[in-house]
């Protein structure tokens, strides 16, 4: 799509001198210190990544290209008669920082359509996988299977030019992103709907076609648009974003990088928390015999979970210190569309009791809900009740931000990532213990 490539090319040319100057003239300026606690404790707060695609403020939450989520929903072009924007328009916005016009967004929708056909061999591989494979394992497998399509890999083998390396990375990223919703829907229908597949509808945009291929009627198309956009990016240090960036830093292509991203997202402390929330809420529901628990009853359930050594899924965050705006966006959606839903009422009671309990327990630095506390309830309400599948939805969304990041990584020539490790003896010596 020429408009987007041309715009992106101009943005890259304008941006490169800033990165070059910082490296050349200010490369020795310290961004911060690293403590032993940070080195052993998962590098919390160590400032070692640079991205302009999104920034996570601990108190305010995420901004994409400087805009809050409600602003993004407001600004991006929407399909006629829909409440949420084209997902494709977010791809344009994250890459360029410019809000596309309606015409630019619609051109991009057409471009994505041209790229979204899923190769038969991907379907064959999925069909051949063990029936009890987790949907995330299937998703990762399907993505890496397409590596042979990589234009970046081909360009590398033909002699990659550093200045234009971002172009085949952009091409791969667009190809892959266009296919991911269809692959996700294929996995869903194969695993849970007896392989009763629904054909692509070429008249529909990404969100609309995803809902159609899942077999879930409107307004699920808008739910899909909201969900993918809400989950797209959360700056660079989280497991899914960082693993994408790390893998791509070895000049691995987008297929290898996104397959790795999905593997990280599949962890219960990260993306899998959305399915864990639903599993856990179903436990309360069973215990309560479908009745809405009182605050006291819910508190007991929360304490029982904590006392059995488990975390409360959907609560806490490594960076955030307030309620996640991604939670709030979804909560507002629930108040508008599923206010009487029993599971939403459970989530609501949880919101009233969990923060106080986590504060009383005194371990979690952030007692507030994150993105995963609310998302599964919306899916359940619209009929997607196979909660093992929820992280796949997160994966489609997260691919948008991470692919935009690795396109820019190549544009700015970011080198292979290689932090340094020490031995415990060395750390003890620094601490003055030995
Ligand atoms: N329930 C119970 N205990 C929690 C907790 C929660 N929701 N959140 C944090 N804690 C505990 C930690 O397990 C840790 O305990 P230990 O000292 O015994 O190891 C302690 O509080 C301190 O942790 P922290 O510094 O507040 O949090 P971390 O940065 O280490 O971890 C996160 C962040 C998200 C992994 C953690 O809050 C958690 O496990 N939450 C539940 C799982 C979840 O919802 N994950 C999704 C996150 C959203 C995303 O995917 O981006």
Q: Please tell me if the CB atom of residue 395 comes closer than 6 angstroms to any atom of ligand 1.
A: no
Distance 363 CA to ligand 1 centre (A): 9
Q: Residue 299: inside a domain, yes or no?
A: yes
H/E stretch holding 202 reads none
Distance 316 CA to ligand 1 centre (A): 5
Q: Please tell me if the CB atom of residue 230 comes closer than 6 angstroms to any atom of ligand 1.
A: no
Q: Look at phi and psi of residue 195 and say left if phi exceeds 0, alpha if psi is from -120 to 50, else beta.
A: left
Closest residue CA from atom 40 of ligand 1: 316
Please give the structure tokens belonging to residue 84: 């949420």
Q: Please tell me if the CB atom of residue 372 comes closer than 6 angstroms to any atom of ligand 1.
A: yes
Q: Please tell me if the CB atom of residue 235 comes closer than 6 angstroms to any atom of ligand 1.
A: no
Q: Please tell me if the CB atom of residue 327 comes closer than 6 angstroms to any atom of ligand 1.
A: no
Residues marked as catalytic: 270, 317, 372
Q: CB–CB of 233/402 below 8 Å? A: yes
Q: Please tell me if the CB atom of residue 277 comes closer than 6 angstroms to any atom of ligand 1.
A: no
Q: Could you tell me the residue range of the domain that residue 307 belongs to?
A: 273-381
pLDDT value at residue 191: 98
Q: Residue 310: inside a domain, yes or no?
A: yes
Q: Residue 306: inside a domain, yes or no?
A: yes
Q: Residue 315: inside a domain, yes or no?
A: yes
Q: CB–CB of 317/270 below 8 Å? A: no
Q: Residue 17: inside a domain, yes or no?
A: no
- Which of 46, 315, 364, 373 is the pocket-test mutation for ligand 1 (most atoms within 8 Å of CB)? 364
Q: Residue 369: inside a domain, yes or no?
A: yes
For the CA of 306, the nearest atom of ligand 1: 2
Q: Please tell me if the CB atom of residue 316 comes closer than 6 angstroms to any atom of ligand 1.
A: yes
Tell me how far apart the alpha carbons of residues 262 and 187 are, in angstroms, rounded to a whole number: 14
pLDDT value at residue 309: 96
Strand 67-68 to 54-57 pairing? unpaired
Q: What parts of the chain have a pLDDT lower than 70?
A: 1
CATH code of the domain covering residue 309: 1.10.230.10
Q: Residue 143: inside a domain, yes or no?
A: no
Tell me how far apart the alpha carbons of residues 323 and 326 are, in angstroms, rounded to a whole number: 9
As to burial, measured by CB atoms within 10 angstroms (0-12 exposed, 13-18 middle, 19+ buried), residue 219 is: middle
Tell me how far apart the alpha carbons of residues 8 and 332 are, in angstroms, rounded to a whole number: 34
Euclidean distance between the first and final Cα of the chain, in Å? Answer: 61
Q: Residue 151: inside a domain, yes or no?
A: no
Closest residue CA from atom 37 of ligand 1: 316
Q: Please tell me if the CB atom of residue 409 comes closer than 6 angstroms to any atom of ligand 1.
A: no
The tally of domains found in the chain comes to 1
Distance 345 CA to ligand 1 centre (A): 24
Distance 79 CA to ligand 1 centre (A): 38
Distance 19 CA to ligand 1 centre (A): 34
Distance 317 CA to ligand 1 centre (A): 6
Q: CB–CB of 172/152 below 8 Å? A: yes
pLDDT value at residue 184: 98
**What pTM was estimated for this model as a whole?**
0.96
């Amino acid at each position: 799509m020429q408009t987007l490539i041309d715009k992106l090319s101009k943005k890259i040319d304008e941006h490169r001198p800033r990165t070059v100057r910082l490296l050349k003239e200010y490369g020795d300026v310290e961004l911060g210190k690293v403590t032993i606690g940070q080195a052993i404790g998962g590098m919390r707060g160590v400032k070692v990544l640079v991205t302009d695609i999104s920034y996570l403020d601990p108190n305010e939450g995420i901004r994409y290209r400087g805009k809050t989520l409600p602003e993004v929903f407001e600004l991006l072009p929407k399909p006629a008669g829909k409440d949420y924007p084209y997902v494709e328009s977010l791809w344009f916005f994250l890459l360029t920082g410019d809000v596309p016009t309606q015409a630019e967004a619609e051109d991009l929708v057409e471009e994505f359509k041209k790229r979204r056909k899923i190769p038969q061999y991907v379907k064959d591989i999925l069909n051949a996988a063990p029936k009890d494979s987790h949907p995330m394992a299937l998703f990762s497998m399907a993505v890496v299977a397409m590596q042979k399509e990589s234009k970046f890999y081909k360009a590398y083998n033909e002699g990659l030019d550093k200045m234009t390396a971002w172009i085949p990375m952009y091409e791969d990223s667009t190809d892959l992103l266009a296919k991911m919703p269809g692959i996700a829907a294929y996995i869903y229908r194969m695993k849970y709907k007896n392989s009763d597949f629904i054909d692509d509808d070429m008249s529909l945009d990404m969100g609309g076609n995803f809902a159609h291929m899942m077999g879930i009627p409107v307004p699920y198309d808008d739910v899909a648009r909201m969900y993918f956009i809400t989950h797209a990016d959360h700056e660079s240090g989280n497991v899914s974003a960082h693993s994408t960036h790390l893998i791509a830093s070895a000049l691995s292509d987008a297929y290898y990088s996104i397959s790795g991203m999905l593997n990280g997202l599949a962890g219960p402390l990260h993306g899998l928390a959305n399915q864990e929330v639903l599993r856990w809420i179903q436990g309360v529901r069973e215990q309560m015999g479908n009745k809405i628990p009182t605050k006291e009853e819910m508190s007991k359930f929360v304490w029982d979970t904590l006392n059995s050594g488990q975390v409360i899924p959907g609560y806490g965050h490594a960076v955030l210190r307030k309620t996640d705006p991604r939670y709030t966006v979804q909560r507002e959606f629930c108040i508008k569309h599923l206010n009487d839903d029993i599971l939403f009422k459970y989530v609501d009671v949880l919101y009233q009791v969990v923060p106080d309990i986590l504060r009383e327990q005194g371990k979690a630095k952030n007692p507030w809900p994150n993105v995963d506390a609310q998302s599964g309830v919306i899916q359940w309400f619209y009929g997607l009740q196979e909660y093992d599948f929820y992280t796949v939805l997160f994966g489609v969304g997260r691919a948008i931000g991470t692919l935009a990041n690795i396109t820019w990584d190549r544009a700015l020539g970011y080198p292979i990532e290689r932090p340094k490790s020490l031995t415990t003896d060395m750390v003890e010596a620094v601490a003055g213990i030995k």
